[in-house]
Amino acid sequence: MRDTAIGQNQHQNTYNSTCDYYAGCESDFGLRCINGQCLCEINSYWTPGNYCDFQSQYGFCVFDYWCRQDLALHCRNFTCTCSLCRTCFWDGVRCRDCPTSWEIVISNGTRQPRIYCYVKVDFHVNWDESVSICSTAATSFFGPTSHLVYIDNLQELTDVSVFATNQYYDIFIGHTNSYNYPQWFLSNGTLSPPLHWCAGLATTYATLACTRLLIGAACVTNIVCHGWTSRYICKLN
């Protein structure tokens, strides 16, 4: 009879459903059978994505590993927090540490509020040089992690243009077609979000091209990666 019962209860139960020795829980989702119910372990919680995860910002904790350490959260005073250093902050997605010589920019757009950390570099180099310099420009609590600014969406296009101010005619941004000419990529090789091109420009090119942002018009145009020089903005990763 027991073998039959086991065969009839091979299915795995989901969150908050009853469970026992024969009817287990969906372990792939992080569930465990606790007091007859499929629940997350004490140091994790059930997410809207239907799986158990560790605590995000302000969640209760006892140890660091209870927190989303992939978001750089740590446990302080029984709370998952970014308050690890004087310049550490939560940017709406993860913990950041904005170096004291950089500037925090708060986006007030209609999208999810974000806080960015930028630095303006007020001398001219070519695009390749700006990518190289920005990659090691930041020294922060979480290590040297920065890049030539990427434009993720129209809101950041506006935010960067405002941050640069009209004192700058243009700045380099970290988008290039160097990995496959018909497509645009970020300087780290990942596929670029759609760009807001200046009116009348082609959006694909058959030869190597990089990008700059025209500040007054708040739009993107192509440039020669090696010959053109401009100022630029670095962004904390």
Instruction: Tell me, yes or no, whether 129 and 167 share the same domain.
Output: yes
Same domain for 72 and 163, yes or no, is no
Structural domain total, the chain: 3
Q: Is the pLDDT of residue 5 over 80?
A: no
Could you list the residue range(s) of the whole structural domain that residue 64 is in?
57-97
Residues 50 and 75 in one domain: no
Q: Which CATH number does the domain housing residue 166 bear?
A: 3.10.100.10
In a domain, 173, yes or no: yes
Is position 6 within any domain? no
Average pLDDT, the chain: 81
pLDDT number for residue 8:
35
Residues 127, 209, single domain; the answer is: yes
Return the pLDDT at 130. Answer: 96
Give the rounded percent of residues in the chain with a pLDDT score beyond 70: 83
Confirm whether 42 is domain-assigned. yes
Q: Are residues 223 and 192 in the same domain?
A: yes
Do 197 and 131 lie in one domain? The reply is yes
Mean pLDDT of the region 124-149: 86
Return all residues near 80 (Cβ < 8 A) that are at least 6 apart. 55, 56, 57, 58, 59, 60, 61, 66, 67, 68, 73, 74
Look at residue 23 in the predicted model and tell me its pLDDT: 67
